[in-house]
Amino acid sequence: SAVPGADGYGVIVHDGEQKFVDWPTRTLKENAKDARSGTATSVLVEGLKPDTPLKAQVAAKHSGIWSSYSNFSRAVSLPSPTTPQAPVLQIVSNSTLLVTWSAVPGADGYGVIVHDGEQKFVDWPTRTLKENAKDARSGTATSVLVEGLKPDTPLKAQVAAKHSGIWSSYSNFSRAVSLPSPTTPQAPVLQIVSNSTLLVTWSAVPGAD
């Protein structure tokens, strides 16, 4: 509620540590001197972590003089972002896999893990696997092609959703699939061309490049 005669307000949010709301950026600062105050009787605070008890206090400013901070509010915890359902794997070729999943309401990005015996992270722009999550860029679609995979290796995938910079847990694993080995050509036929030349011919293999 508004405080009669107040011309500004400062807000503390406690997330395990005391932090100060910077009104213009809607973020928390560790030091009060870095947090600018405001004049309204409400303020949005962004970039908070889910599943963390949060409580707040407010102080009022009167002609440059600050009051004491109020008692703490009732504590609340923000919900974790929704975890996607397990993805579905579709074999595209001997070295390429399509990972698809259902959209998560409110999600603005997705990250994908492919397990080929080790946990690896899909880098969307290059469609390749990276050993470290920091090297794998995420994407916004609900499917991604993964290339350069080895055949005859069990593969399974997981998906995480991002909501305003906060990642959900990874989904359950997909059903495992193995990419087929390339088809082996039939035995070739040799044709003598001359005393020093041989022609080798064979039947085309579907899909071979």
Structure-model confidence comparison of residues 164 and 90, the more confident one: 90
pLDDT of residue 5: 83
pLDDT of residue 205: 83
Q: Please report, for the chain, how many H helices and E strands are present, in that order.
A: 0, 17
pLDDT of residue 207: 74
CA atoms of 112 and 64, how far apart (whole Å): 52
53-90: per-residue pLDDT in tens? 999 999 999 998 999 999 999 999 998 889 999 999 99
How far lies 107's CA from each of 49, 69, 73, 80, 98, in Å?
16, 36, 29, 12, 20
pLDDT of residue 80: 84
102-143: per-residue pLDDT in tens? 999 989 999 999 999 999 999 999 999 999 999 999 999 999
pTM: 0.68
pLDDT of residue 208: 79
pLDDT of residue 126: 97
CA atoms of 88 and 50, how far apart (whole Å): 28
pLDDT of residue 198: 94
pLDDT of residue 30: 95
Nearest of 61, 29, 68 to residue 45 by alpha carbon? 29
pLDDT of residue 102: 96
pLDDT at 196 over 80: yes
20-48: per-residue pLDDT in tens? 999 999 999 999 999 999 999 999 999 89
Task: Please list, in sequence order, all residues whose beta carbon lies within 8 angstroms of the beta carbon of residue 148, skipping any fewer than 6 positions away.
Answer: 95, 127, 128, 129
4-23: per-residue pLDDT in tens? 888 999 999 999 999 999 99
How far lies 159's CA from each of 105, 109, 196, in Å?
14, 10, 59
pLDDT of residue 110: 97
pLDDT at 209 over 90: no
